[in-house]
Every structure is written in structure tokens, then in C-alpha cells.
Amino acid sequence: MLETEQPPYVGNFIQGLREIGYTVETAIADLVDNSITANAKKISIQFIPGSNVPTLTILDDGYGMTSEELKEAMRLGTKNPLNIREKGDLGRYGLGLKTASFSQCNTLTVATKKNGLTSVEQWDLKKVTSTNKWILTSYEFNEIKKLISEGVSNDFEKLKSGTLVIWSDIDKISNEEIPDTYDEIKNHVSMVFNRFLDGSCGTEKIQLSFNGNAIKGFDPLIKSHKKTINEEETILKHSNGEKEVRVMACILPSHKHVDPETYAINATSEGYTKSQGCYLYRSNRLIAAGTWFNLIARHDSHNLVRLEIDIDNNQDKEWTVSVTKSGFSVKPPEGIKKDLKGIFTSANRTGRGVIGGRRRVNSNIEKAFWNKVKNDEGKFSFVINKEHPIYQNLFKSLDDAQKEMFGIYIKYLNNYLPIDDINRAKIHTPKDIDTKPEYIDKETLREFTEHMLLKGLTREEIENFIKDMKQSQGLDVEEILNE
């Protein structure tokens, strides 16, 4: 047997790492993970245009690192993903700081302070590529001040302990594109870290700001709203019963119980259809959002249904958590898929009731235009009421050819009633739907009544038909009939 060492071409390897699948918001979230793991209480993100390209800084007041700890943190793969993690550790592979940063910039600089001593290390990817060597460069803090604003520099120097991450030579986003990314970044971190921002679920509350503006947590489950239905939590076990998964379904408030602005906010920037489904939290950090894990299909009737799933940071292998922790590769363990599907089905049954309403509404009109009918399979549909006086008189006035054509029209009208479009509009734009009947003035009603009398309708039939008009519009039907 012959063994040879075959190291990678560093430049090519680095370019591969840069395309691992991060977006700017998921990359920033990975850096915030490190700050929270370091017990930071205050985290400040600055993302500003530069003379040529943007610069990003993330400053925290966490534990900080010694010089040796910083060098180790800058090493790729510094932690074994198979090792047991401490309870509050949001890391996974020991890659996040590096891969997240490399995905957006060519130069990663980290300054840190601990025990009164400041250390600075830098990865320059252009240098690494040109030399084909993993060259990490150490600096004094004064030497890298030119990379950051005076305000950020002063804030770091005032800290007793903490860490400053600097992205310079950013090449994935231009100066002109920065304004378009603001809302994406803000919305992403406010949802991913909502528990830490709110101090909920046993977390230590943090302060997170973005370009000087405080970010508030956004709970996608809307659990605190009085009209949200928070169902009972279910605990599932896998890996021979050694690991727990906590699941709770929430049915969001319908448009009837919130104002239009709140209803739109609850939809998230993705909209209700894409936001339905599961929200997977790993050690209180959101890692997957708006997914049914391919266990059931998306449907408009599920739009108000969201489920909160909690796992700890030692279930990564079973849930196939990736380096980016952004959710696209995450899937539940085989042993609990059947139980999860059952929970999904039950929650969606409740959700359909909230969307459609649980009360049966009876029409005040004696002769309805539509009838609700049940077929042999027990399924319901809506069909034109051919017993309606207007239909009967109209049909009688037609010749045989016209009756045949009219019958075809009614058949297709029954078959193509746009129920899906009506439901979709009711869910997505309920405030824009005009469900009130058009008011009929007295003169129009008089003409209608005379026409019906000429067609042979009895006084009782006309009274029954326009009974609803009398109740909702205050029209005196008897007066009109007596004229």
C-alpha cells in the first residue's frame, strides 16, 4: 500500500467555499450566532457604502477571546460537529464565521478584547489564493482602524470585552444594492432571533441594532395575540427515546380579528401561502421556516396554520442541519414523520374552520339563487337554483333552441364556479372584497315588481323573493305592491 498526501488547491477550494449557499442575511445571522454564544447582551450591525464597495461590521459585548483563542476561531473546522455541544452553543461545524464571511467578502478581519488585551487576525482571500497557502495575518488594532468608521472604532475601544467582525472588499453586493437589502436583513434577523430579542422561552434578552436602529423580535407564530389558537404541545421522541422534539400548532387570527396592517405583517414578506407550515427552532434559534417537510402539500386552506418545533443542538445529525443553518436541507427523522403528519392534519382541520368560519349562515331570501347539494360520495357543491321564480319565467319565455343554449350555459356556470379564486381572495385580500349586495332604489324595485306581475308571479312569490331587500334596505314592499 502506498499513501501520498494530496492537499487541495487552496485558491480553488476557497472559491468553492464562497458558493456554499449563503445569502447576505443568512451570513449575517451566522455571525450573530457567535455573538449570542459568547453571551453578548448588545450586538450592533453596521452595513454602509464605501468609497468603492460596502463594508459591514458586527460589534458585540460578549466574552471576547485571547490571542490563541482568536487564532483557533479563525481556523476552518475548529470544532467537530459530532461532539456534544453546550446547551447555549448555536454553532455547528466550526465553520460559520469563516464560510459566512467568505461568501460575501474577500477580507475577513476580527478584532477581539479579553482580560484587557486586544488581538486582531485577518484572512485575505486574494493573498491566500495567490500564494496557495493558508496565511493568517496578525495586526495591531490601530493598523485596521482605516477599515471601519470612527464611531465603530470608539465603541470597540470602550468595551471591557467583546468582538468586532469586519467584512471589507465585499464583492457580492454593490453600494447601489445596499438599500434593497436593508428590509431583507432586518426582517430575517428579527424572526430568526425573535426569542432572544424578546427574552422569551427562557433566553437571555439581547439588544440588536442595525445601522443604529433597534430591531424588535417578530414571532411568526403570533402566539401573544388573544385570537391566536395555541394548541396543546406534543412531545415526540426518537433515537430510542433519548431525544425529544416539542411540537405546538398555532392558528393565526383571521382578518376579522386584526386590522389590515397587522394582517399584512402577520403574513411576513413571503405571504401567507409561503409562510404556512413549520418553524423549526434549534436551541431557540430559528433554522427553518414555512415548510411542511414534504409531508403534506401547501393549500390556501392551511394559510393560517403554523407549527412551532423545538429541538436542542445535539440533534443536528438526525435533522440533517447544514453549515448555513438556513433550512433548505433540514428534514425530520424518519421515526417521527408519521406522527408529525398526523399533527399537521389535525392543525389544518382547525385552521380551515378559522378561515371559513364555523357558523352556518342561512339566507333570508326564501328563494335562493344557489343551492348547496351533496353527491353520492358525500361531497358538496353549489348549483343554480332552477326553481327560482326568475329562472322559471325566463326559461318559459325561450324557444327550444334558446332553452338548449341556456341549459348549456347554466351547466358550465355550475361546473366552473370559481371557488378556489373566492377562497384565495377571502384569505389574501379579505378587506378588498365587496360582499354587500348592491342597493336597489324604490323606482327600480317598482319596475321589477310590475314586470314579475306581468310574468304571472303571485304576490306571495314576489314578497318571498324580495324579503331580504325589505329587511336590509328599509323598502316598503307592501306599499309598492299596493300601488
Q: Are 385 and 336 part of one and the same domain?
A: no
- Are residues 187 and 75 part of one domain? yes
Mean pLDDT, rounded, for 115-132: 94
Among candidate residues 214, 243, 265, the one where a domain is terminated: 214
Q: Are strands 207-210 and 42-48 parallel, antiparallel or unpaired?
A: parallel
- How far is the C-alpha of 157 from the C-alpha of 135, rounded, in Å? 27
pLDDT at position 92 is 46
The SS3 assignment for 349 reads: helix
Residue 223 lies in a domain: no
**Total count of domains within the chain:** 3
In 3D space, the residue among 269, 342, 267 whose CA is nearest the CA of residue 306 turns out to be: 267
User: Alpha-carbon distance 102 to 79, whole Å?
Assistant: 18
pLDDT tens for each residue of 363-375: 333 456 777 776 6
Return the CATH number at 205: 3.30.565.10
Question: Which residues, 6 or more positions from 311, have their beta carbon under 8 angstroms from its beta carbon?
Answer: 243, 244, 245, 246, 280, 281, 282, 319
358 or 200: which leads in pLDDT: 200
CA–CA distances in Å: residue 322 to residues 267, 312, 315: 27, 15, 12
* Residues 208 and 289 grouped into a single domain: no
On whether the CB atoms of residues 179 and 49 are closer than 8 A, the answer is: no
d(CA 261, CA 291): 24
Decide if pLDDT at 129 tops 60.
yes
At 177-202, the pLDDT tens digits run 888 899 999 999 999 999 999 999 99
Instruction: Give the mean model confidence (pLDDT) for residues 140-160.
Output: 95
pLDDT, average across residues 312-336:
81
The answer to whether residue 224 is domain-embedded is no
Report the percent of the chain where pLDDT is more than 90: 52
Q: What is the pLDDT of residue 93?
A: 45
Asked if 300 and 336 sit in the same domain, the reply is: yes
pLDDT tier at 80, thresholds 50, 70, 90: very low
Contacts of 289 (CB under 8 A, 6+ apart): 191, 220, 275, 279, 280, 327
Are 33 and 159 found together in one domain? yes
| Host domain of residue 333 | 229-356
pLDDT above 70 for 253: yes
Q: 483 in helix, strand or coil?
A: coil
Give the total residue count for the chain. 483
> In angstroms, rounded to a whole number, what is the distance separating the alpha carbons of residues 222 and 226?
9
Spell out the long-range contacts of 437-443 with Cβ–Cβ below 8 A and sequence spacing 24 or more.
437/468, 437/472, 439/473, 440/469, 440/473, 440/475, 442/475, 442/480
**Domain for residue 107, yes or no?**
yes
Structure confidence at residue 150 (pLDDT): 93
Residue 351 scores a pLDDT above 60: yes
Share of the chain above pLDDT 70, in %: 78
Using alpha carbons, select from 127, 103, 121, 137 the residue that is nearest to residue 10: 127
* 111 vs 131: CA distance, rounded Å: 24
The answer to whether the Cα torsion of 103, 104, 108, 109 is positive or negative is negative
What mean pLDDT comes out for the span 282-304?
Answer: 93
User: Which CATH number belongs to the domain containing residue 350 in this structure?
Assistant: 3.30.230
User: Please, how many CA atoms are within 13 Å of residue 239, restricted to the half-sphere of its CB?
Assistant: 13
Choosing from 161, 180, 214, the residue where a domain stops is: 214
Is 5 inside any structural domain?
no
Task: Identify the residue with better confidence: 328 or 272.
Answer: 272
Q: Nearest CA to 275 among 247, 300, 239? A: 300
Residue 247 shares a structural domain with residue 203: no
DSSP class of residue 161? S
Average pLDDT over residues 125-134: 92
Average pLDDT over residues 113-138: 94
pLDDT at 407 over 60: yes
- Position 359 confidence tier, pLDDT thresholds 50, 70, 90: very low
Last residue of a domain, one of 329, 356, 383: 356
3 state SS of 56? strand
Question: Does residue 264 sit in the same domain as residue 304?
Answer: yes
More confident residue, 466 or 257: 257
180 shares a domain with 130: yes
Asked if residue 233 and residue 346 are part of one domain, the reply reads: yes
**Residues 318 and 378 occupy one common structural domain:** no
Same domain for 375 and 352, yes or no, is no
User: Are 248 and 116 part of one and the same domain?
Assistant: no
